[in-house]
Structure 1
Amino acid sequence: MKKTQELLTQITQLTSNIETNYPELYSFLLEEPITIPSTQHPEINSTVLQDYLQTLKEELHHHIKTHKAK
């Protein structure tokens, strides 16, 4: 259970960072297909949370990389 709580904390912190420092990216996070469940009652577990956290990190990294060059 602690693993799940740690992941949720990391996701919350990263999302808050994106909202504060990269508002142009934050507006797109709500539109991500990964946040829209494809089943009525999706199972949320450590694997799903880890995947989502990794996706957030990759999106932020890509955003920073592509917008620094401009």
Structure 2
Amino acid sequence: MKDTNQILTEIATITRNIEDNYPELTKYLNETRSTLPEGSNTSPTLNKEDLQNYLNELKELISKYKKDH
């Protein structure tokens, strides 16, 4: 199973891919962003499950776009 840093790295890579190769999809990045840290500003935590879900949403976004174009 992936750790949080691996998931974050993959999210960053896919986000860059979208920005570089599918700029028309960047408008959806903010709409799908459900991974803001939880907790106080001094000790925020990232929910690994939420990060994995967001990663899956990004992959699905690209996949659906490629099928339609």
Q: TM exceeds 0.5?
A: yes
Q: Identity, % of aligned pairs?
A: 44
Tell me the number of residue pairs that the alignment of Structure 1 and Structure 2 aligns: 62
Higher relative contact order (CA 8 A, sep 6+): 1
Higher helix residue share = 1
Deviations 1:16-57 (A, max 9, x none): 001000000112222x1x4257xx848522111000000000
* TM-score, scaled relative to structure 1: 0.74
Distance 2:45 2:8 in 1: 15
Tell me the residue number matched to 1:11: 11
**In 1, are the aligned partners of 2:34 and 2:50 still within 8 Å (CA)?**
no
Partner of 2:33: 35
- Tell me by how many angstroms 1:58 deviates: 0.3
Normalising by the residue count of structure 2, what TM-score does the alignment of the two structures yield?
Answer: 0.75
Runs of 4 or more consecutive aligned structure 1 residues displaced over 6 Å after TM superposition:
none
- 2:46 alignment counterpart: 44
